[in-house]
Amino acid sequence: MISETCIAPVNIAVIKYWGKRDEELILPINSSLSMTLSTDQMCAKTTAAASATFKENRMWLNGEEVPFEGNPRMQKCLDALKRLAEAEKSKRFPLEWKLHICSENNFPTAAGLASSAAGYACLVYTLANLYGVEKSELSSIARQGSGSACRSIYGGFVEWVAGIKNDGSDSIAIQVQPALHWPEMRVLILVVNDSRKKTSSTNGMLNSVNTSDLIKHRANVCVPQRILQIKEAIARKDFKTFGEITMRDSNQFHAICLDTYPPCAYMNDTSHAIVNFIHQYNETRGDVKVAYTFDAGPNACLYLLEEEVANVLSLLNKVFPNDNSENSEYVKGIPIDLQKV
């Protein structure tokens, strides 16, 4: 038997990916940009083993067996990696050997906390190590598991370039700034609700593309401008601009969810109370000091600099005593790359 174990970090988008132009290849209608978080508090860990004695491919997620052969996305990632192994004449073990894969997230799965991003990035990275293949194509393979997973292949600030080609060969993630470019940056994750989301991002996106008018304006006009502006803000470490663009983009993404017919509402009353709290906080401080962003769920991700963390946390504990004390997690936003363990 031969096995490998890897861990992969989550990434939290500041310019959101929402909507596909190709469902099969998972090609987005707009580029997106995220920061990859350090792995100690929020990560996926995957062990993959191959053996001549395994009768079939099997997979366990958080201790429970999940269908492998019946999961087309998983199958697509595995097939792509096996093709790479074949092309590179990798000789670690015969390609017909079956696999057993164990994956765990140390944070709520499918609650809008980027679990699929870390999960698929980890799966692809672990299998690439197992088969002993080159790492250059991993972002496009991870993309075919879950779109946002392609960004978790790199540390730091990462752009997923939408691309224009039909075969998806130019729809890849690239690192915009390395992990230590902005070492003072932090993220606070406030877990408002850790149950599974009602509308999966796959279904939500499909409905938005089919029914929202606003989504076209966002993809064609707003996002291209914002990507340029936020990349400049990151390069000059301009938190005010970074924060404002982040909040505007989150708000517009959720406006599209409401412009979808029937609408999908991912944020709840607590999420909106957090939005108000942050705007009040920034007003009191006379500048943008904290920025919120919400994925396809009610949980808040707050971007802020280290110098602001203690103050914001103590106020959050006062304003949201029950929601905050047990569940919220403080995740250090100093990113690192994927690791073999």
Site for ligand PMV in 189-248 (CB under 6 A): 201-202
Residue from 30, 31, 32, 299 that binds ligand PMV (CB under 6 A)? 32
Residue from 13, 59, 267, 278 that binds ligand PMV (CB under 6 A)? 13
Asked whether position 299 contacts ligand PMV by CB under 6 A, the answer is: no
Least Å distance between CB 216 and ligand PMV? 18
Site for ligand PMV in 131-150 (CB under 6 A): 146-148
**131 vs 242 by CB, closer to ligand PMV:** 242
Per-residue tokens: 67: 């269908």
d(CA 6, CA 36): 16
**11 vs 282 by CB, closer to ligand PMV:** 11
Q: Which stretch binds ligand PMV (CB under 6 A): 12-20, 55-63, 87-95, 333-341?
A: 12-20
Per-residue tokens: 202: 């796959």
Least Å distance between CB 201 and ligand PMV? 4
Site for ligand PMV in 90-129 (CB under 6 A): 116-117
Least Å distance between CB 280 and ligand PMV? 26
Residues that bind ligand PMV (CB under 6 A): 13, 16-18, 32, 116-117, 146-148, 201-202, 295-296
